[in-house]
Amino acid sequence: MSMEGRTCVITGSARGIGRGIAEHLGSDGANVVVNYRSSEDAAHETVDAVESAGGNAVAAQADVANREAVERLRDVCHEAFGPADVLVNNAGITADHQFTEMTREEWDRVMDVNLGGMFNCTQEFYDDIWNAEEGRLINISSVVGKQGNFGQANYAAAKSGMFGFTRTIALELAQGGSTANCVAPGFTRTDMVESVPDKVLDRIIAGIPLERLAEVEDIAAVVRFLASEDSSYVTGEVIDVNGGMDL
Ligand code: NAP
């Protein structure tokens, strides 16, 4: 799959799933904008990895929850590579507490980054995606958005909110020939699950038919397909990548 000449903006791609997506698209020859909020060194490592894999890359600091910062992210993209063809809304956070203990601040923080960041980035890059030949919007949701998860009412609400948003934008983009899809990963081996105690992880794995956590590559491979021209007729979908957790 060649992505040569295609420009891809991936939010939160200094590490974790975002980094895996950057490396996959880079190895297909894409121009990649590696967005980070605080992991500057890791962002530069990702840029090096994308370039070694055969792509072009630039690092761009921006807190996706901040609209002015996202405007600057768009400017960096335009200056480095021109308009974006692909936007991957990957940046996400958790702030877990059982609901009765959850503070309004934890609720707002998760909404501001996971949904507000998606809103800001999609609006700033909307014209790019609309005007692109085969533009692509790809939102990284979660199995938690479908199933819920103890202590994650805020995160589950944000992640299922991505489903309705994606289907609506898919309808609005369709006339221009561009697509919007969601990927809903299961539990994936990144820093985000690092803090989960081993006992809890063992219980999670016991409930996964494929009997393992996802690796970053499992998720990135599906995003790579959705970013490519091979997915031209797929839009408004939620693609589960969860080892069979729904079975
Ligand atoms: P991670 O290892 O914790 O990485 C999160 C990334 O998001 C980091 O690169 C971080 O950037 C970035 N980020 C956070 N807040 C940001 C903000 N305000 N502005 C810009 N970037 C921001 O998480 P991950 O596991 O790779 O998760 C990536 C996505 O997949 C998230 O949306 C997550 O909800 C989703 N997901 C993860 C799992 C899982 O089990 N790991 C499962 C399902 C879905 P900095 O380091 O620069 O702050």
Q: In CATH, what number is assigned to the domain containing residue 72?
A: 3.40.50.720
Residue 74, domain member (yes or no): yes
Distance CA(54)–CA(226), nearest Å, equals 20
Residue 242, domain member (yes or no): no
CB contact set of 73 (below 8 Å; sequence gap of 6+): 9, 33, 35, 60, 62, 64, 121, 124
Q: Is 182 helix (H, G, I), strand (E, B) or coil?
A: strand
Write the pLDDT tens digit of every residue in 66-124. 999 999 999 999 999 999 999 999 999 999 999 999 999 999 999 999 999 999 999 99
Residue 77, domain member (yes or no): yes
Write the pLDDT tens digit of every residue in 144-171. 999 999 999 999 999 999 999 999 999 9
Write out the residue range of the structural domain in which residue 110 sits: 7-188+216-237
Are 153 and 43 a contacting pair, CB within 8 Å? Answer: no
Residue 206, domain member (yes or no): no
Residue 100, domain member (yes or no): yes
Q: Is 148 helix (H, G, I), strand (E, B) or coil?
A: coil
Q: For residue 57, report the phi and psi dihedrals to the nearest 5 degrees.
A: -150, 155
pLDDT of residue 6: 98
C-alpha dihedral sign at 61, 102, 188, 140: negative
Computed over its alpha carbons, how large is the radius of gyration of the chain? 17
Are 202 and 194 a contacting pair, CB within 8 Å? Answer: no
The binding-site residues of ligand 1, defined as CB within 6 angstroms of any ligand atom, are 11-12, 14-18, 35-39, 63-65, 90-93, 113, 117, 140, 142, 185, 187-188, 190-193
User: Ligand 1 test: best mutation among 72, 155, 192, most atoms within 8 Å of CB?
Assistant: 192
Q: What is the number of alpha carbons within 13 Å of residue 108 lying toward its C-beta?
A: 3
Residue 28, domain member (yes or no): yes
Distances from the Cα of 44 to the Cα of 26, 60, 150, 231, angstroms: 14, 10, 36, 30
Distance CA(31)–CA(22), nearest Å, equals 9
C-alpha dihedral sign at 106, 111, 116, 117: positive
Write the pLDDT tens digit of every residue in 190-235. 998 888 889 989 999 999 999 999 999 999 999 999 999 999 999 9
CB contact set of 199 (below 8 Å; sequence gap of 6+): none
> pTM, whole model, 2 decimals?
0.98
Ligand 1 center to 158 CA (angstroms): 13
**8 - beta bridge partners?**
32, 86
Which sequence positions are flagged as catalytic? 155
pLDDT of residue 194: 86
Residue 15, domain member (yes or no): yes
Structural domain count of the chain: 1
Distance CA(84)–CA(129), nearest Å, equals 6
Residue 201, domain member (yes or no): no
The closest-lying atom of ligand 1 relative to the alpha carbon of residue 214 is: 40
Q: For residue 35, report the phi and psi dihedrals to the nearest 5 degrees.
A: -85, 140
